[in-house]
Structure 1
Amino acid sequence: MSEENDLERELPATQRKIEKAREEGNIPRSKDLSGAVVVLVGLGCLFVFSDFFVEQNKDLMKQALTLSTQDAKDPARMGAAFVDLLLKSLLVLSPLLIAVLVAAVLGTIAVGGAIFVGKNLQPKFSKLNPVKGLKNMFSGNAMFEFAKAMLKVLVIGALATVLIWGHVDDFPRMMTIPLPNAIELAAAFALRDALILTLVFAVAVSVDAPYQVFRYLKQLRMNIEEIRREQKETDGDPHVKARVRQIQREMSRKRMMAAVPMADVIVTNPTHYAVALAYRDGGGAPRVLAKGVDLIALQIRELAAQHGIAQIEVPALARALYKHVDIEREIPPSLYGAVAKLLAYLFTMEKGQIDESVFPSEQDIPPGMDPGPS
């Protein structure tokens, strides 16, 4: 079953899975790249500071080989001289040590970036399982890494042989010149050849970084079921979300129905639409307190009847208000004229002097505002 799942994992990992793997300390690393950077920087530092290192080492050797009678007779002075020599040696090597340290850090985080995961420091007894260790030792990736290491050894070894063979004629000549000159010449040959070998090694392992990233992303590949499960965890269960939306709609409907008694007039069409309008002097334009169609419209009309709120049938205006005005929002300026006539007509109704001349008509609704009968 696990093999089938591995075969089915053909979809790239989501950003969430990559971030989760990173949080657990699972990131790509290229040991070959970091090793090549360390060696290259170390040799480069030796090449740049070679004169400095040679001169300082001469002074240190003179100090180490120079021994006074007082120092030889006093063990305490011998210890102090040794500590002084050790501190000077570290000071001389400090440029090289700092450069190698920085190179080691940068070479390591070049692929995968910097990360610290505390739980990785906790002991895991599962790593002591010999069966699992043997399985990892003979896995396909382990065999590939072994073959890659052998290939590097063969290539670097062959190149080193060629470079050394190129100096065969120089070895007899070095035996005929003064010792300091011979040492300087040998050091120059060794440093140059080491730089060449390191550069070739760096070029050879430069493909390891993209390979490690490719292998890392391949290990994190997902199948359809895993992506669906992750989406469910991220977005929530669709059934739960649907239930939440239903509850939110019910709560919104209850708040809307609770505002109906505060309306001044209910505009209907007469059965499909119902819109509750409220207007207060000095309070801005009229606002829509509630609106609905069919069953909700019926509930709005029934609630308005219970509270003695006037209901006026203006089909075109009711449809326009329902479509273009949200709840708790003021009516748009394009409907000011029609609503003003409606309120004027309502005022004549309340006074018992109904004036049909102020009743809004379809011509009072701007073109495109009325969606038409449903």
Structure 2
Amino acid sequence: MADSDENEKTEEPTQKKLDEAIKRGDVVKSQEVSAFFVLGAATIMIAFMASPMSRNLAKPLAAFIDHVHEISLDRRGLAEVYLDLGRAILAAIGLPAVAFLIAGIVGNAIQHRLLWTAEPLTPKLSKVSPLAGLKRIFSVEGLVNFVKGIIKLIVVGVAMWWAIRPELKRLDTIVAADTLGLLAITQTIAIKLMIAVMIVMGFVAGADYLFQRHRWMQRQRMSRQEIKEEFKQTEGNPEIKAKIRQLRQSRARKRMMAAVPSATVVVTNPTHYAVALKYEKGMQAPICVAKGVDLIALKIREIAEANKVPVVENPPLARALYATVDMDKQIPEDHYKAVAEVIGFVMRLRGRR
């Protein structure tokens, strides 16, 4: 059944589906991208902050060693020693810790917008189910992660060997160096190693992000039935909308037919088109109170004749008015002359009567 459902999901996800997934915390996320940014922060720390950090840490440690004979071994004395050493260590590692935290946040923010949701923390049986765990391990994604880990290990190892190989010739110099010289050499080698690893991790992070995005888009795919249901939820049920539209048209038609008896004249074609016009003293121009074609035109004519509203056959004018004038709107200026002649004829006819 699960495979059948997956096979039915052949359509690209809608923007609404993607937005809902992001709100749930289901986002494109590559751990390699975050690791790349953290690695970059570590490289910067080693290149620019290693010496000041080591000096800041060396001072309290040297003082501790120089005055170790003055330390009281009671509870209060040991507590003060632990506090002093703790402050020194925190002061030394505080900046790197903040830098790593910021790098991790940036690594996630560059992949997707920051959001706060507790849904990923909600307990789910699938997370503790042994069967679900085995499926995840032996899934395509699990296999890809395993192969990716092996390749990454090999490539990073080769890059580290390529970076450190020139330094092997200086082993005798390194062994004979003093403490400060050894620290400087170690820093140089560490920077070379970190840069080599960063170059490799940059390619790995880019490829892994593209793969994770592809997998995420596949997970968000929808079946045609899901798209129909979403359309119903967002746009409304098409059948209900059609019924509402039909009901509105029916009410508008009834109001239109009720206005025909108040018309001054009905211009026809003679049966295909009918436009009922109303004109009273004080109006700037006649207005259209009803119009229609075929059956509606016949109905307008019947109501007009039943209420003794004059019906004038003028096919060109009837077609032109039907095409250009809207309901309850004045006729266009282009038709003033022709309509005036028709209304004038009706007025003269009433006068003779």
Q: What is the distance in 2 between the residues matched to 1:84 and 1:143?
A: 49
Please list the CA deviations of residues 205-262 of structure 1 after superposition, one character each: whole Å capped at 9, or x if unmatched.
3211111112222233345454444444444443333222211211221222233333
Q: What is the distance in 2 between the residues matched to 1:40 and 1:313?
A: 87
Q: Are residues 1:266 and 2:259 paired? A: no
Q: What is the distance in 1 between the residues matched to 2:160 and 2:135?
A: 35
Q: What is the distance in 1 between the residues matched to 2:63 and 2:345?
A: 114
Q: What is the distance in 1 between the residues matched to 2:196 and 2:79?
A: 42
Residue 125 of structure 2 is matched in structure 1 by 125
Helix, strand or coil at the partner of 1:111: coil
Residue 241 of structure 2 is matched in structure 1 by 241
Percent identity between matched residues is 31
Residue 359 of structure 1 is matched in structure 2 by none
Q: Mean alpha-carbon deviation: is it higher for 73-82 or for 30-39?
A: 73-82
Helix, strand or coil at the partner of 2:352: coil
Q: What is the distance in 2 between the residues matched to 1:199 and 1:22?
A: 31
Helix, strand or coil at the partner of 2:291: strand
Q: Are residues 1:283 and 2:264 paired? A: no
One-letter amino acid matched to 1:114: L
Change in CA separation of 1:48 and 1:239 when aligned onto 2, cut-off 3 Å: same
One-letter amino acid matched to 1:90: L
Q: Are residues 1:31 and 2:34 paired? A: no
User: What are the ranges of 5 or more consecutive residues in structure 1 without an aligned counterpart?
Assistant: 354-374
Residue 86 of structure 1 is matched in structure 2 by 86
Helix, strand or coil at the partner of 1:167: helix
Q: What is the distance in 2 between the residues matched to 1:219 and 1:258?
A: 58
8 Å contact from structure 1 (residues 43, 191) kept in 2? yes
One-letter amino acid matched to 1:296: I
Q: What is the distance in 1 between the residues matched to 2:281 and 2:77?
A: 103
Tell me the TM-score normalised to structure 1 length: 0.83
Please list the CA deviations of residues 326-354 of structure 1 after superposition, one character each: whole Å capped at 9, or x if unmatched.
1112111110001111222222122227x
Q: What is the distance in 1 between the residues matched to 2:309 and 2:213?
A: 71
Residue 328 of structure 2 is matched in structure 1 by 328
Q: Mean alpha-carbon deviation: is it higher for 80-89 or for 294-303?
A: 80-89
Residue 173 of structure 2 is matched in structure 1 by 173
Q: Are residues 1:195 and 2:195 paired? A: yes
One-letter amino acid matched to 2:34: S
Residue 318 of structure 2 is matched in structure 1 by 318
Helix, strand or coil at the partner of 1:17: helix
One-letter amino acid matched to 1:271: T
Change in CA separation of 1:289 and 1:65 when aligned onto 2, cut-off 3 Å: farther
Residue 70 of structure 1 deviates from its aligned partner by 7.5
Q: What is the distance in 2 between the residues matched to 1:308 and 1:240?
A: 40
Residue 253 of structure 2 is matched in structure 1 by 253
Q: What is the distance in 2 between the residues matched to 1:49 and 1:154?
A: 30
Change in CA separation of 1:177 and 1:255 when aligned onto 2, cut-off 3 Å: same
Residue 107 of structure 1 deviates from its aligned partner by 0.8
User: What are the ranges of 5 or more consecutive residues in structure 2 without an aligned counterpart?
Assistant: none
Q: What is the distance in 2 between the residues matched to 1:250 and 1:37?
A: 65
Q: What is the distance in 1 between the residues matched to 2:34 and 2:27?
A: 15
Q: What is the distance in 2 between the residues matched to 1:29 and 1:73?
A: 52
Helix, strand or coil at the partner of 2:113: coil
Q: Are residues 1:3 and 2:30 paired? A: no
Residue 142 of structure 1 deviates from its aligned partner by 0.5
Residue 341 of structure 2 is matched in structure 1 by 341
Change in CA separation of 1:77 and 1:345 when aligned onto 2, cut-off 3 Å: farther
Q: Mean alpha-carbon deviation: is it higher for 29-38 or for 210-219?
A: 210-219
Q: What is the distance in 2 between the residues matched to 1:264 and 1:211?
A: 74
8 Å contact from structure 2 (residues 262, 278) kept in 1? yes
Change in CA separation of 1:265 and 1:183 when aligned onto 2, cut-off 3 Å: same
Q: What is the distance in 2 between the residues matched to 1:159 and 1:70?
A: 49
8 Å contact from structure 1 (residues 60, 89) kept in 2? no
Residue 174 of structure 1 deviates from its aligned partner by 2.4
Q: Between Structure 1 and Structure 2, how many residues are aligned?
A: 353
Change in CA separation of 1:295 and 1:201 when aligned onto 2, cut-off 3 Å: closer
Change in CA separation of 1:35 and 1:67 when aligned onto 2, cut-off 3 Å: same
Residue 64 of structure 1 deviates from its aligned partner by 4.0
Residue 85 of structure 1 deviates from its aligned partner by 4.8
Residue 68 of structure 1 deviates from its aligned partner by 7.8
Q: What is the distance in 2 between the residues matched to 1:250 and 1:343?
A: 30
Q: Are residues 1:62 and 2:62 paired? A: yes
Q: Mean alpha-carbon deviation: is it higher for 246-255 or for 184-193?
A: 184-193
What is the RMSD computed on CA atoms of the aligned residues?
A: 2.8
Residue 105 of structure 1 deviates from its aligned partner by 0.8
Residue 41 of structure 1 is matched in structure 2 by 41
8 Å contact from structure 1 (residues 261, 307) kept in 2? yes
Q: Mean alpha-carbon deviation: is it higher for 251-260 or for 225-234?
A: 225-234
8 Å contact from structure 2 (residues 163, 196) kept in 1? no
Residue 14 of structure 2 is matched in structure 1 by 14
